[in-house]
Amino acid sequence: MAMTPDQLVLNENWSDLSRIRDMPVIDRARMNQYRQSRIRRVMRSHDVSLCIMVNPISLRYAIDYRNYALFMSHIPSTYLFFPLEGEFLLHHAFDPKVLETNIRTGQPLAYMYGGENLTEHAKKLAQDVDEFLVELGANPRKVAIEYVNPSITQALEDRGIEVIDGVLITERARLIKNEDEIACIRWAIAVAEHGANKLKEAMIPGVSELQLWALLNYTNLANDGDWHDGRMLASGPRINPWLQEASDRKIESGDLVGFDTDMVGPMGYFADLSRTFHCGPAKPNKRQREVYQLAYREIEHNLKLIKPGVKFSELQKNAFTVPEEFQSNAYPCIVHGVGMCDEYPNISPIFRGALPYEDAIQSGMVLCVESYMGAKDETIGVKLEQQILVTESGYEILTNYPFDEQLMS
């Protein structure tokens, strides 16, 4: 007999995945060294002496700094000086594991701390950067800095320091994963699929969307994961259009229930799995099966296009032809990158217009292949997604969760 979410938590003997499945072997020292070498390689390509990072994802990637990530995503406080050569300096660190030699008291970046005096604080920060560059003997005096206040850029330039966008460094560095990162991703996906199993087990008429979503979130946290970028679970008439977050709506017999994990999981790596289930005891109707199988065909068609060397524009051009009635509600992209979060690239369907950049798929990239099918003015909708590793000969599917047999037949 299926248990409610409350019963699953009260009878908690299931959430810790490591009790029933061995974690993959991960050499964390090797992974950290690889990630830092990737950053420095891209820094060299831009002739940059220093990268200043404020994005919590970048801090995790560069020095495995994890604390208060969501807080810092909207109230930036901790920031990192990551030099091309030499030791990093972390400012306003909350983690006692960081060595004291790498810690400094920094300047306020957020209005919460700096108020109306942010311009003056920016000048002090620019002075700190200037002194650090002198200490490094850095030449050229060129820094990359992630999303920050315009006053900081102005203050750096006033000191004769050239400034470029830090995302050119941090985003590009994360593009190609090594074996340890892939192992982390495999484990994050295993945790997400473990949660999806419990979600499906608890999916009975009368349970709410929020209760089902809570099981995914609970499973992630119980396995030392971090957060979900959204609460993407919708059912019944709320499943079309997509991108409606979980609500207190109660699931009914005959509903389609779709979800997208968007999960920053254990060790900071992303599990991006989407499935749509049918809730019994009613049987799926003909239209539900038609739409589900159409979404499945889009996924399968576009997977076959994935291999190293394929240009993004070529992938867009040859992608599955979405019937016109489904185009207005279609998912924003057909393929996107993934690592510690959703990442570059983002390849939209061709009916949304030309891509803003050109590049090619490379071995070592991790991608998600997406489909959402929901015709305008209908309530039926289906969300599916597969996460894959690009290999030298093609791709490997990383998400192993089965599709709904009732809807496939």
The parent domain of residue 284 ranges over 179-408
SS (H, E, C) 332-364: CCCEEEECCCEEEEEECCHHHCCCCCCCECCCC
Token pair recorded at residue 289 = 């099966």
Picking from 173, 208, 235, the residue at the C-terminal end of a domain is 173
- Residue 5: predicted pLDDT: 63
Q: Is residue 327 in a domain?
A: yes
- Residue 6: predicted pLDDT: 66
Query: Is the CB of residue 198 less than 8 Å from the CB of residue 186?
Result: no
The phi, psi pair for 264, rounded to 5°, reads -80, 105
The phi, psi pair for 95, rounded to 5°, reads -105, 115
Co-location of 191 and 280 in the same domain: yes
Co-location of 132 and 249 in the same domain: no
By CB neighbour count within 10 A (0-12 exposed, 13-18 middle, 19+ buried), where does 100 fall?
A: exposed
Picking from 150, 173, 196, the residue at the C-terminal end of a domain is 173
Picking from 173, 191, 213, the residue at the C-terminal end of a domain is 173
How far is it, in rounded angstroms, from Cα 27 to Cα 97? 19
User: What is the SS3 assignment for 137?
Assistant: coil
How far is it, in rounded angstroms, from Cα 300 to Cα 322? 13
Q: Is residue 37 in a domain?
A: no
Q: Is residue 312 in a domain?
A: yes
Co-location of 242 and 111 in the same domain: no
**CA–CA–CA angle 188, 170, 72 (5° rounding):** 70
- Residue 94: predicted pLDDT: 83
Q: Is residue 9 in a domain?
A: no
- Residue 11: predicted pLDDT: 67
Residue 81 bridge partners (DSSP): 52, 89
User: What is the SS3 assignment for 233?
Assistant: strand
Co-location of 209 and 305 in the same domain: yes
- Residue 393: predicted pLDDT: 93
- Residue 9: predicted pLDDT: 65
Q: What is each CA distance from 25 to 163, 270, 363, in whole angstroms?
A: 40, 18, 21
- Residue 147: predicted pLDDT: 87
Q: Is residue 53 in a domain?
A: yes
- Count Cα atoms within 13 angstroms, Cβ side, for 393: 2
Give the number of domains in the chain. 2
The segments of the chain whose pLDDT lies below 50 read none
How far is it, in rounded angstroms, from Cα 285 to Cα 372? 18
How far is it, in rounded angstroms, from Cα 46 to Cα 276? 44
Q: 335-338 and 274-278: which strand pairing? A: unpaired
Residues in the chain: 409
User: What is the SS3 assignment for 272?
Assistant: coil
Helix (H) or strand (E) run with residue 331 in it = none
Q: Residue 347 belongs to a domain with what CATH number?
A: 3.90.230.10
Co-location of 153 and 189 in the same domain: no
Q: Residue 98 belongs to a domain with what CATH number?
A: 3.40.350.10
